[in-house]
Amino acid sequence: MYSRRLLEEFRKNSIETGDRIRVVSAGAEYSGFLMPRPAGGDDDTIVLKLDNGYNTGLKAESVELIAKAPKKPPAPANEAGPVARGGIAILGCGGTIASKIEYRTGAVYPSITPRELRMAFPTLKKWDIHSRQIFSLFSEDMGAKHWRMLADAIEDEIKDGSEGVVVMHGTDTMTYTSAAISYMLQNLPVPIVLVGSQRSSDRPSSENEMNMLNSVYSATQDLGEVAVCMHASTSDDYCHLHRGTRVRKMHTSRRDAFHSINAHPLAAVDYRSKRFERLSEWVPRRKGGLVAKKELNDNVAMVYIHPNIRPDLFARLDDYDGIVLVGTGLGHTPANAFEDKTVKGVVRPIRELVSSGIPVAMASQCISGRICMRVYSSGRLLMEAGVIGDGADWTPEAAYAKMCWARGQAKDVKEIGRLMMENVAGEITARSAIEGY
């Protein structure tokens, strides 16, 4: 956003972003197109796109309009007319996997109509696809409300005969969504594949195309699960298909950021060579109809346990309906089992939360491995206080989404505890395979 002074100057000269203008700066004259101000830098400096294509920042002594930019109506996100059914449904939630940049202004728009998708990914022509935009958000802005909207849309698609569903999604919280959908939509007759990209689609090097095509290819397979399809390595060679409740984003920026935790990926996928190689057992397409249990409660907190954590923090959590602790080690918090004067345990306030009817579950910061609160006194004290999760090998994200879901499904704390510890979609497994780490 430009400074007030410049905005006023633009207004006086009827100048808007995209217009061709003349700027005098340091005594020299420059003409070009007015660009929007990016974040950062000095908002009192004009950003001009010169005729050589470069943007440059100029302190203007004067500014004058040369020509207005042609007006163009924004393209509708969804195509008008009846939406096609059958084939593979591609649903857009936002993220950078399929967006396009407007070079004139530098703005990024989501692209979602099948035509635009086919333009972005010409190889999609191989498959019968249809698409629609559910919403367009950064995934870090998404929450239970959006999981619900997405689950509704997927349910509609399945009822309308789609043979597979692909969801384009930002990568940051993709694994919360994949876990939530895994609980909300059960007995799946078709695959539901979430896909994103770590490199934005405005780069020629974006891995979006390969991820997208491998997702659509996966959605045609005999799979009855919610899965995430992302790069398996830093090379553009093949993707891994991960179980929606087992997958976690393990790197801030690499293409191969997504890993299956305590498990192997479901499959190695490469549409080019028609490879859909089984890496672990999966559930095939289910008969008997989709089971939708879509009620959620979004009033759930997740607390990362750390040294110096104070008991009064927990007292402030009493208006939440559920809490997931991300504990240390096997599932611990400071508990002061030795009753040392220099230590402040937090078991008492946790016990108070549980006794006031708020379910509290445990996951581990170790990410890999199983919660075993029976081993040390700290854990035993937490179990006595009513913390659930002992024996669960879930990821923090799968545990969090599970709490939102369980809290939406039941009111009774005991019933919630039972739902939490019952495996719904592979979030809790009975055996820890030796080679799973």
Partner 1 sequence: MKIGIEIHQRLDTAKLFCNCPSALAGEDEKPRCAIMRRLHPVLSEMGEADEASQAEFAKDRAFEYHAYSNNCLVEADEEPPALLNPEALRIALQVAMQLNATPVSEVHIMRKMVIDGSNTSGFQRTAIVAMNGHIDSSQGTIRIPLIAIEEESAGIVSATEGKATYRLDRLGIPLIEISTDPDIRDGAHLSEVAEKIGMMLRTSGKVARGLGTIRQDVNISTEGGSRVELKGAQDLKMLPAYVENEVNRQTLLLKLLLEIRERKALPVKTHMVELSDLLRMSKAAIIAGGIKAGCAVIGQRLPEHEGLLGMEIQPGKRYGTELSDYAKKAGVKGIIHSDEDLSKYGITEAEEAAVRGALGADDDDAFVLVVAPIGQAKSAMEFVLQRANMDFIPGETRRANPDGTSSFMRPLPGRARLYPETDVPPIPLTQALLASIERAEPLAEKKARLEKMLNKEMAGRVLKSRHLHCFERLVSAGADPMLAATTLEDTLVSLRREGVEFSDIEKTLTELFSEFRRGSFVKAAIPEVLKGMAKGARVDAVLKVYRLQKISGPELEAIAMQNDFDMRAIMQKYRLQVDPQEVAEVIKEGKKEQGKDFI
Q: Which residues are catalytic?
A: 96, 171-172, 249
Q: Does 96 contact partner 1 by CB under 8 A?
A: no
* Cα gap 382→378, rounded to integer Å: 6
202 is a site residue for partner 1 (CB under 8 A): yes
Q: Are strands 247-249 and 258-260 parallel, antiparallel or unpaired?
A: antiparallel
Q: At what angle do helices 396-409 and 174-184 cross, to 10 degrees?
A: 40
Nearest to 140 by CA among 244, 255, 226, 252: 252
Stretch that binds partner 1, among 199-207, 322-330, 346-354, 411-419 (CB under 8 A): 199-207
Is 106 an interacting residue with respect to partner 1 (CB under 8 A)? Answer: yes
Q: Which two tokens stand for residue 176?
A: 């919360």
Candidate segments 81-89, 159-167, 229-237, 375-383, binder of partner 1 by CB under 8 A = 229-237
Residue 94 CA to residue 286 CA, distance in Å, equals 29
> Per CB under 8 A, does 119 bind partner 1?
yes
The tokens of 188 are what? 């799946």
Burial class (CB in 10 A: 0-12, 13-18, 19+), 232: buried
Instruction: Identify the residue among 9, 16, 31, 57 touching partner 1 (CB under 8 A).
Output: 57
Give CA–CA dist 410/420, Å, rounded. 11
| Smallest distance from partner 1 to CB 114, Å | 14
Q: Using CB under 8 A, which of 45, 136, 280, 368 touches partner 1?
A: 45
CB of 427 to partner 1, least distance (A): 29
**Coil/strand/helix, residue 399:** helix
Q: Which stretch binds partner 1 (CB under 8 A): 125-133, 228-236, 371-379, 407-415?
A: 228-236
Shortest separation between residue 218's beta carbon and partner 1, angstroms: 19
The only residue of 210, 229, 323, 350 in contact with partner 1, by rule CB under 8 A: 210
CB of 144 to partner 1, least distance (A): 30
Integer Rg of the chain from CA: 26
Backbone angles phi, psi at 299, to 5 degrees: -90, 60
Our finding on whether 215 is near partner 1 (CB under 8 A) is no
Instruction: Work out whether 39 is an interface residue with partner 1 (CB under 8 A).
Output: yes
Q: Which is nearer to partner 1, 28 or 430 (CB)?
A: 28
CB of 102 to partner 1, least distance (A): 6
Nearer to partner 1, 47 or 91 (CB): 47
Of these, 32, 116, 183, 379, which contacts partner 1 (CB under 8 A)?
116
Among the candidate windows 11-19, 180-188, 204-212, 309-317, which touches partner 1 by CB under 8 A?
A: 204-212
Closest to partner 1 by CB, 66 or 107: 107
Strands (E), 116-180: 129-133, 164-168
Options 111-119, 302-310, 312-320, 392-400: segment touching partner 1 (CB under 8 A): 111-119
Q: Does 58 bind partner 1 (CB under 8 A)?
A: yes
Query: Binding residue for partner 1 (CB under 8 A) from 243, 255, 402, 407?
Result: 255
Sequence-distant (6+) residues with CB within 8 A of 165 are 88, 89, 90, 91, 154, 157, 158, 190, 191, 192, 193, 219
Is the CA virtual torsion 53, 54, 57, 58 positive or negative? negative
**Cα(397)–Cα(401) distance, rounded to whole angstroms?**
6
The pair of structure tokens assigned to 304 is 């990362």
DSSP line for 329-349: TTTB----TT--TT----HHH
Residue with the two structure tokens 């990209």: 197
Give CA separation, 292 vs 103, 183, 412, in Å: 43, 9, 20
Closer to partner 1 by Cβ: residue 55 or 62: 55
Query: Which listed residue (206, 221, 260, 262) binds partner 1 by CB under 8 A?
Result: 206
Site residues for partner 1, window 353-412 (CB under 8 A)? none
- Residue 240 tokens, joined: 């891994």
54 near partner 1, judged by CB under 8 A: yes
What kind and span of H or E run contains 193? strand 192-195
The binder of partner 1 chosen from 20, 22, 118, 199 (CB under 8 A): 199
Q: How far is the CB of 124 from partner 1 (least distance, A)?
A: 13
| Interacting span for partner 1 (CB under 8 A) from 84-92, 119-127, 165-173, 414-422 | 119-127
Residue ranges binding partner 1 (CB under 8 A):
25-26, 28, 30, 35, 38-42, 45, 47, 50-59, 100-104, 106, 111, 116, 119-120, 122, 199, 201-206, 209-210, 234-237, 252-255
